[in-house]
Each structure stands twice: as C-alpha cells, then as structure tokens.
Chains A and B, each alone.
Chain A
Amino acid sequence: MSDIEKKSIDPATVKMLKKAQADGCETIFDRADAMKPCPIGAEGSCCKTCVMGPCRVPAPKKKGEEKSRRVGLCGATAETISARNFARMVAAGTAAHSDHARGVTEVFLATAKGKIPGFQIKDEQKLLQLAMDLGVEIGNRSVQEIAIDVGQKALSEFGRQEGEILLAKRAPLKRQEIWRNLGIMPRGIDREVVELLHRTCMGVDQEYKSLLHSAARCALADGWGGSMISTELQDVLFGTPVPVYGKMNLGVLKKDEVNLVIHGHEPLLPEIIVGVLQDPEIQKAARSVGAKGINLTGMCCSANEVLMRHGIPVGGNFLQQELAIVTGVVDAMVVDVQCEMQSLAQVAKCYHTKLITTSPRAKIEGAMHIEFDEHRAPDVAKKILMEAIENFKNRKPNADIPSETTDTVVGFSHETINYLLGGMFRASYRPLNDNIINGRIRGIAGVVGCNNARVTHDDPNFTLIKELIKNDVIVLVTGCSAMAAGKGGLLTPEAARQYAGEGLASVCEAVGIPPVLHMGACVDNSRILMAATAVVKDGGLGDDISDLPAAGAALEWMSEKALAIGHYFVASGIFTVFGVTWPTTGSEEVTKFLFEEFENSLKGKWGFEPDPMKAAKLMIEHIDKKRKALGIDKARERVLFDMAKRRELDAA
C-alpha cells in the first residue's frame, strides 16, 4: 500500500489525492506530513493568556518531577493552564454554534415579519411546538403573529442575563435538578460565553474544577441553547427532516453540468439556491454555455442540511473539500462560515474554480466575495449561480471525477423517529425502549464530529460505527462522521442485514430503518439530546439521560465546536469518547477530573481512545454497565438464549 493509500479508507479520496499530487497541487494531507503538531500545545500546557508568556509548562518526562516547577510567570499551575485552555475551546465552540443560531433567528424573525423574499414558515406544526416550549400564546392567532413572538423570544435567549434558558426545561427533570444543584444551569447564551472568557483571563478563575464546571455551563448553553435554537428555527423555516433518499461522495459531481458546491454550515443561502435553480432563465444560461444543467452538491454541514431536506447529493466531508476542487469540474464553490480551509483559495488557483465567500463574518484572501443579504436573497443566489455558469467554459482538460457514490436514506429528526416507531396515531419511543429492555438493541450511541488530517480519513469513525452496530448498538450520527457512515454504505435499511447484529437487524428490518440514523448537521446534535430525553421520558430505562445504556463519540474531532458538543454531552449525562488527541493530557489532575470525577457530580464523563475498536469496547462496556444498573442485563442473556434455541430448532 502506498503512502497515499494510507491517508483515507475512501477510494474516491485516495484517487483525488493521487490526482492532486500529479497536478502539483498541495493539500492538507501534504501539510500534515510536513508539519507535526507542537507537543506542548497538543497537551494543553502552553499559556498565552497574557504577554508575559507564552508560558510553557509541559508534563514532566519522568514521574514525580516537582509539581511546583510547573507554573507560569504569574504562578498559574499546569492544572489552571490546562483547564483554561480547555474552557476557552468550549467557549469558542459555543460561540460558533450560537452565532450561527443568532443569524438564523434574525432571518427567522425578519421572515415572520414578511421582510424577506424567498423565505417562509414551512413547518407550522414545528412552530406550534416551539411556541409551546417558549410560552408563546397560540389560540386563534395567525402563523405570522405566533412566529414573530417565537422569533423575539428566541432572540432574547442570547442576551438573557438571569434565570434559565428556556429550552433547558425540555431535559429530563432529574437532569435539570443536577444542573441547578451544581449551579451550572445556563442563564443566557452570550452571557455564558462571555463569562467563561472572562474567567479564563489572566488572574481570574484559577481553580481547575471551577473552570471545568463553568465550561459545562457554557457548553449547555450551546446544546440546549444556541444549537437547539438553530435546529428548531431551521426546521420551522425549511421543514423538519423526514426520510429522504440521497447520494454521497465525489462521484456525484457531473462532467457535463455546471457544478456548484455549497460548503459551510448555514442553510440559509443553500435553501434559496435550491429554489432559484429551477428559474428558467438560469437553466437557459447553463445550456447556453454548453452544459446540460446545473448540479448542486453539498460539502460538510451545509451538505447535511440540504441533503436531509431536499436530497441534494453530498460531495464529501471536511477532508474532501480541497479534493472536490481537485476533480477539476467544480465551477464554483460557495462558502459561508466554519470549517472552510483557507487553502481552498490556493487549490482553486490550481484549477479553474471560483471560490466565493458570502458571509460578512468570514472572508478569505484570494476569494471572490458576494455578500449574502437576506433581503435580496434570490438575487444573491442568482448572481452566484451565474458566476458558476460563466466559469464552466474555463475548465481545464485535466478533469477527472471519481466514480464512487453511495446511496443513503437520511432525515431522521427525533420527531421522525418517533413517528416511524409508532405511526401517526401512536407515535412513540416505546418500541425502542422495549427492544432495549428485551435486549434486541443493546444500547444507543451518538457518533459525531469531524475529520482530522492526523488520522486516516474516515477510518476511526467508520470502524467504530460498524463495530457498534455489529454489537446491536443503534447509532445516531451527525456532521462529518455521518458522511463516513454514508460513504461506507451504513445509511440504508439494507445495511441492517449486512452489518448489524441479529437483534438490531431484526428491529431495523421490522421498522424499515437503517441501523445508523443520520440526524443532521453539527448543530443538530441537539436532536440527539431530544431523542435521548424522549427515551428517558417514555419510561423503563431510568429517569435521567445518565441512566440510559448510551454513549457518545467523536473519534476524528478537530474543531473547538466538537469539544463544546462533547462537553454538553458529558454535562447532559453521557459518557463521551474522543479520539486523535486529548487537550488536557498535560495535567493528570485535570484529565482525571474530566475522565473520572465528573461522573460523581454530572453523572457523565469523558474518555479518550484513538483506536476505534478499543473505543467501541469502552462504549459497549459502559452500555453494559448501565444495563446492569437498570437490571436489564439478564433480559439480554435470555433473548440471546432464545435466539440460540431458535437456531437449534431451525436445524432440527
């Protein structure tokens, strides 16, 4: 196997890496070889909170080396420095999700007021759901009146100064009590981010336990606040996801059509582009340059958004963004915010691709900027499409599209799972709970997060997911890990028979669902929280999320957003395993606190295991521990015995 072949388990990625090399185009994979991570920063032992530093307090090579020597100029201990770095990452991740949410809320409110052409309230039922949660009167009021109040209430959640964020009351009652008792119930979204940044300034909070609990409060403001608001309002605006068929991988690009790749996170512009695509003027323009039509393809979380609402194909995940351009057929790539590598501008130069930034918050040197203004959204969408169309003729001869694509069925919002399990008149999580109790399903896992150029692309996520379903653990996926599952063929109902354990497969076949359920983009991890809460509330599996036979993982994480997600999973009671690297290894105490002692207070804890098979083992052991605590471990054995018995009978 050549070095390039070891970079990814995805053949399309490997093919494009070889093409990039032949074309003399550098990618993140090359840079990952050339530049190794700084070991002191990687373990969280570098402080540059003030300019007397950076102070470096690396973990001693030999055990027992004097602790007092490991302090910065101001005396900040390795523990403080490590916890402070961790907390800052959580604050940044929360800020990213929440600022996305604020943008969505503003567009939502303007839509409700009828100020934005092209947007409308598509899902009235979801609006009513949210109105009830936010305490907005429904009565005989019009959709518009309700939506304005919902938008205003949602917007005030960001600047709320006291009390409790409103959506936290969706959590199980016991969970809410845990947060209140620990004093970490979030007050307002922005407030928690700002306070955490303050606490982590030079000379403020210098007690690592206090810092990590505050980080939990901030993360909760993400999961049950910012991220949840953005998921909910996007559903109201664009529709709650329902099962839809779609394709994944670079093979979805088309040689004879204008290819526009939409990359980033906010679904606002992509939704409008989807609408404008049918405009006869646009179609005519495409034909006039010799193209058969326009092919829209998603990348990263924007892809998840349009895939699950429209079945628009997915080009790939985070590490494939440069490689989409390397095909030589991407006429324009339009980006908004988050996870867009600056190198895209350089890669685009190697080919003919126009890189177009659209967010006033995210410009890239060397890219064209067409600002997304929601008040003239259809015009902006048309302008972008025209740029792509005009560029079609500039394609160079060295175009090559890998043939790989995979079928997927996606769109499993927690509402849809509820419906699929019971139907319109008896929608329920009961069948799921029953099958967990009787042991056909061993437990639930959320496998989320990014790609990371430090590990073989898609391998840890795919291997972990496959191992979990083989062991009868149903897996919920979001973000880039969802695409690893999709490209590997795990997102179809047929995958149940092929890959899942006998128990899980029998349930999936009966309901007609894949063993791995695609729940959306990164902000949609809030859907996992809701599904877990529904399972708790349905009964029979304890009365808190921490009682469930469930675990989370992000084995290829790279973004600060992933750390915020992991921390709100943990603070919601979920054992969560991360891979690649762990940012507090510089401090044994801090790591021990997160990996062990957190369980005493928050009933959830962190774990670190880069090896996917070992990570699966850790998660399954945790699931089995919870099954035992619930007294349902015996049921599982009995079911397995029944199966064996059946097979015996079969053979007789």
Chain B
Amino acid sequence: MAEYCTEEKVAFNGKRVEILGPTFEEGKPGTPMNWRNKLRNREEMLAYLKTGERYWFNDEWFGSEKRKTKA
C-alpha cells in the first residue's frame, strides 16, 4: 500500500485542517471483497446474526420496534 496522503480542508468552524486523503489502492479489484469469509465458525456466524443482523435476530434490540412485541 502506498504512503498515506493528506489533504487540507476547511472545517465547519472555518479553520484549516489537515485530513487523511483517499486510502484506496489504485487499480481495479481482482477478487471479490469476501467479507463473509471472516466468519470462521458457527459460533461466530451465530454471534454475527445477533449483532450485525440484530434487526431480525436479537431479542433485546429492535430499533424502532423495541417497545413493541417481539418481531
């Protein structure tokens, strides 16, 4: 990966700030971004369902529906 580059921008308060520039690598991706392979075993898969897919699979957290009957 190339060196990080920075860019100078004006922040909301008018001050000039240095921020991190684009971090993506040049070129076209050769392989799919297979994030699902990070889930190595069933335990991790089920844990991810409870957290990542909590909208459907967590008993305690229902977002907008949390005060209502369980989905």
Contacts and interface: CB of A to CB of B under 8 A. Distances in A.
Q: State yes or no: do A and B come from one complex.
A: yes
Interface of A: 123-125, 128-129, 132-133, 138, 169-170, 172-173, 239-240, 242-245, 311, 407, 409, 411, 415-416, 418-419, 422, 424-429, 512, 533-534, 536-543, 642, 645-646, 649-650, 652
23 contacts: A123-B36, A124-B42, A125-B45, A125-B49, A128-B46, A128-B49, A129-B53, A242-B32, A244-B33, A311-B32, A409-B29, A415-B36, A415-B53, A418-B53, A426-B51, A427-B53, A536-B64, A537-B62, A538-B55, A538-B63, A541-B64, A642-B12, A649-B14
A407 B68 CA distance: 45
Interface in B28-48: 28-30, 32-36, 38-39, 42, 45-46, 48
A244 B30 CA distance: 8
Contacts of A244: 29, 32-33
A418 B48 CA distance: 12
Contacts of B29: 243-245, 409
**Interface bracket on B:** 20 to 34
B10 to A, nearest CB: 5
Q: Which 4 pairs show the lowest CB-CB distances between chains A and B?
A: A427-B52, A244-B32, A539-B63, A537-B55
B35 A424 contact: yes
Interface of B: 10, 12, 14, 24, 28-30, 32-36, 38-39, 42, 45-46, 48-49, 51-53, 55-57, 62-66, 68-69, 71
B46 to A, nearest CB: 6
A390 B7 CA distance: 57
Nearest to A172: B65
B64 to A, nearest CB: 4
Contacts of B45: 124-125, 128
A228 to B, nearest CB: 13
B65 A537 contact: yes
A132 B59 CA distance: 13
Given A132-B49, A538-B63, A649-B14, A125 B36 contact: yes
Given A539-B64, A650-B10, A242 B35 contact: yes
Contact of A424 (B38, B42, B65, B66): B38
A169 B34 contact: no
A646 B10 contact: yes
B52 A543 contact: no
B14 to A, nearest CB: 5
B64 A129 contact: no
